Structure 1
Amino acid sequence: MSSIGTRIKSYREKQNLTIEDLANRTVLPEDFIRAVEEDDQYPSLQPLVKLARALGVRLGTFLDDQVSSDPLITRLADREEELTTHMGGKEPGVVFHSLGKGKTDRHMEPFFIELLPESGKDDSLSSHEGEEFIVVQSGQVRILYGKEESVLSPGDSVYFNSVVPHNVACYGDEKAEIYAVLYFPE
């Protein structure tokens, strides 16, 4: 399976775009795009959403490696880490496991996500079109939504409009695990 960075580069090159062109479309620095394509660096999900939109593809396109038929079943034993974001480019903060990988006609992005304690050190807010639904499986999760802050425990859920600046992170010193479904309108 090719890396996400390799797939982004492939889509960029298919459209005859330079890194500078893609930087202009996304308002992301050229150095950042180079690091994504060459070093598979991901500080957060938001830049990947911007890259997907600029290239005219779903975020899941960067994770897909095969086409499946309905229904798509993902067994726990087969779940694989697809993407790890790093806080400040250093420590791992969030580990994403795609639960929709292989369903190429999907309109939602379902994930099992591990929120490591390092993620709680980042208070930066991000926003994008769409909606998110999250259920806490284990640990505690801090949700910053606009000017509100909430802490969720196992079994708690939250559903929100993603256009409002938000941040989802681990709360405390123990890893948290969540199921999240992200919807990005086309």
Structure 2
Amino acid sequence: MSEKKPYEEIAPRLRGLRDACGFSVEDMAGRTGASAEEVSRFESGASEIPVSYLFKAAQACGVDTTVLISGGDAHLKAYTLIRMGEGLAVDRRKDYTYKSLAYRFTGRKMEPFIVTVPPKPEDGLTFSHHPGQEFIHMLEGRLEIHIGKTSVILQAGDSLYFDSNFPHALRGLDDKPAVFLDVII
């Protein structure tokens, strides 16, 4: 028996939330900037779900993204403190490791993560795109990011802000993982 992928566990929560809000698939598409086909695919568990989509779906329904990611509810409103090594593991992609740094804060306007990207050959890149913008600040290692037809290499201390509607792919370099702060809006 194979284990469910994280997005397969999130999919029924997405569908249930949309139903609870009384939105059709087309309504949710219009509120999130996704196509109706993408909304259906995300809700069926047929494909990975971009964090930016989860964020916009939660906003459209007036709930916290934590509800969709973990099934639990965020409770803190004034601040939340996440100590080193803590954070909610969000295994939404097989390529990267994500840890949410604000999962306990309700009413977030952004989604900050610590992301670890393993090294891989250039022909192993997986491109994705999603509505919104991203800010990356490198903490460890070296990262190659492809945005459209451009390639940029970042190292510890470097930052990059980009429009995540453009297809993008990441890989660690030098046979080491790259670790960075990723803020998705």
* TM-score, scaled to structure 1: 0.70
Identify the residue that residue 17 of structure 2 maps to in structure 1: 11
- Number of matched residues? 167
Which one of the candidate residues 140, 144, 147 is aligned to 2:149? 147
Deviation at 1:25, TM superposition (A): 4.7
Q: Distance in 2 between matches of 1:80 and 1:50?
A: 18
| 1:29-178 paired onto structure 2 within 5 Å | 30=40, 33-35=43-45, 42=48, 45=50, 48-50=51-53, 53=56, 56-57=60-61, 60-61=65-66, 62-63=68-69, 65-85=73-93, 92-117=94-119, 121-129=124-132, 131-178=133-180
Q: Distance in 1 between matches of 2:11 and 2:44?
A: 9
SS of 1:134's partner is strand
SS of 1:28's partner is helix
Deviation at 1:127, TM superposition (A): 4.1
What are structure 1's unaligned runs of at least 5 residues?
Answer: 86-91
SS of 2:45's partner is helix
Counterpart residue identity of residue 33, structure 1? E
Identify the residue that residue 26 of structure 1 maps to in structure 2: 36
Q: Distance in 2 between matches of 1:26 and 1:172?
A: 41
Counterpart residue identity of residue 174, structure 1? K
SS of 2:92's partner is strand
Measured on the aligned residues, the alpha-carbon RMSD in Å equals 3.3
Q: Deviations over 1:78-130 (max 9, x none)?
A: 32312330xxxxxx21111111102121111110111123596224241423x
Q: Distance in 2 between matches of 1:74 and 1:66?
A: 13
Q: Distance in 1 between matches of 2:28 and 2:107?
A: 25
